[in-house]
């Protein structure tokens, strides 16, 4: 089966889903109070776009700031932890544990200290995104082929040159992998913070619509966020491919 046919089948399936769903609502098989018809969702999307788009931007900004912090912190910590054997042995179990603990548990504390605004959401994004980045970067450094270092040193490279010209390029793939995962986690962290203790952003909006039983508006907001996150992931993927081209 060709690529085109696959895409066709995918489009057809999704279209069938939407049509079936619309029919189910119209025929009264599902309660539009809980599951609004796709047409109603589209109408709600148009009606609430004025309110939703600035909130979407708000969420995106917080995510990007939190993500930037997470990348800076995570890559630095990953390089440090990965470069020193003892530090790696001592610290990694803690990083793994922090990665494994549900971050939602700590969210109330952040909200308690920083209130219900921008800072909480940004820190939440950082908290969610930083650990996978640390783990992947540190792992990338540890997996580095020692022969590469030997070759570079034998050719007279200074420690700084080894770092710049051997270590960083070699670690780049796992760093990029970590940054890709980190992006989704950062968005997750922002939305969760907004849902838990927000007064702005898409997370807050969605939670509000849910509480008010505005199903169509809620679905519209959900669709917007989904599209945003897929767009972010896809564009990151593109960037990734361009950066990784030399490989």
Task: Find the binding residues for other proteins in span 14-73 (CB under 8 A).
Answer: 14, 34-35
Between the CA of residue 145 and those of 160, 166, 170, what are the distances in Å? 18, 10, 9
Contact assessment for residue 131 and residue 99, using Cβ atoms and an 8 Å cutoff: yes
Q: How far is CA 242 from the centre of its chain?
A: 20
Q: Is 196 in the site for other proteins (CB under 8 A)?
A: yes
In terms of CB distance, is 161 or 229 closer to other proteins?
229
In terms of CB distance, is 127 or 215 closer to other proteins?
215
Query: Exposed, middle or buried, 91 (CB in 10 Å: 0-12/13-18/19+)?
Result: middle
Q: Work out which of 38, 210, 220, 239 binds other proteins, going by CB under 8 A.
A: 210
Alpha-carbon span 99 to 185, nearest angstrom: 11
Q: Work out which of 1, 27, 147, 155 binds other proteins, going by CB under 8 A.
A: 1
Query: Which residues, at least 6 apart from 213, have a Cβ–Cβ distance to it below 8 Å?
Result: 33
In terms of CB distance, is 102 or 146 closer to other proteins?
102
DSSP symbol at 165: I
Query: Exposed, middle or buried, 197 (CB in 10 Å: 0-12/13-18/19+)?
Result: buried
Stretch that binds other proteins, among 45-53, 75-83, 171-179, 218-226 (CB under 8 A): 218-226
Between the CA of residue 199 and those of 44, 55, 158, 194, 206, what are the distances in Å? 21, 10, 52, 7, 11
In terms of CB distance, is 23 or 90 closer to other proteins?
90
Q: Is 152 in the site for other proteins (CB under 8 A)?
A: no
Q: Is 105 in the site for other proteins (CB under 8 A)?
A: yes
Query: Smallest gap, in angstroms, from Cβ of residue 107 to other proteins?
Result: 7
Q: Is 184 in the site for other proteins (CB under 8 A)?
A: yes
Query: Which residues, at least 6 apart from 32, have a Cβ–Cβ distance to it below 8 Å?
Result: 25, 40, 215
Of 72, 61, 17, give the one whose Cα is nearest residue 41.
17
Query: Smallest gap, in angstroms, from Cβ of residue 158 to other proteins?
Result: 30
Q: Is 84 in the site for other proteins (CB under 8 A)?
A: no
Query: Smallest gap, in angstroms, from Cβ of residue 161 to other proteins?
Result: 31
Q: Is 104 in the site for other proteins (CB under 8 A)?
A: yes
Q: Work out which of 25, 121, 166, 187 binds other proteins, going by CB under 8 A.
A: 187
Query: Smallest gap, in angstroms, from Cβ of residue 201 to other proteins?
Result: 12
Contact assessment for residue 183 and residue 41, using Cβ atoms and an 8 Å cutoff: no
**Residue ranges in contact with other proteins by CB under 8 A:** 1, 6, 9-10, 13-14, 34-35, 86, 89-91, 93-94, 97, 100-102, 104-109, 111-113, 184-185, 187-188, 191-192, 195-196, 203, 206-207, 209-210, 213, 215, 218-219, 222, 225-226, 229-230, 233
């Amino acid at each position: 089966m060709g690529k085109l046919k696959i895409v066709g089948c995918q489009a057809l399936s999704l279209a069938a889903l939407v049509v079936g769903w619309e029919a189910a609502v119209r025929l009264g098989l599902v309660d539009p109070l809980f599951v609004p018809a796709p047409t109603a969702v589209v109408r709600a999307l148009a009606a609430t776009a004025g309110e939703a788009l600035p909130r979407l931007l708000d969420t995106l900004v917080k995510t990007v700031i939190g993500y930037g912090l997470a990348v800076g912190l995570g890559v630095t910590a990953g390089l440090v932890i990965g470069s020193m054997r003892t530090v790696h042995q001592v610290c990694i179990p803690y990083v793994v544990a922090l990665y494994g603990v549900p971050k939602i548990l700590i969210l109330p504390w952040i909200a308690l200290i920083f209130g219900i605004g921008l800072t909480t959401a940004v820190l939440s994004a950082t908290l969610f995104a930083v650990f996978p980045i640390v783990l992947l970067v540190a792992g990338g450094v540890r997996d580095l082929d020692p022969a590469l270092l030997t070759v570079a040193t034998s050719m007279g490279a200074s420690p700084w040159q080894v770092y710049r010209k051997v270590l960083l390029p070699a670690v780049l793939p796992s760093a990029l992998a970590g940054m890709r995962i980190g992006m989704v986690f950062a968005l997750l962290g922002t939305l969760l913070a907004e849902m838990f203790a927000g007064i702005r952003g898409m997370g807050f909006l969605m939670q509000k619509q849910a509480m008010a039983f505005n199903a169509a508006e809620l679905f519209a907001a959900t669709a917007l966020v989904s599209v945003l996150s897929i767009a972010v992931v896809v564009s990151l993927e593109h960037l990734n491919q361009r950066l990784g081209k030399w490989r």
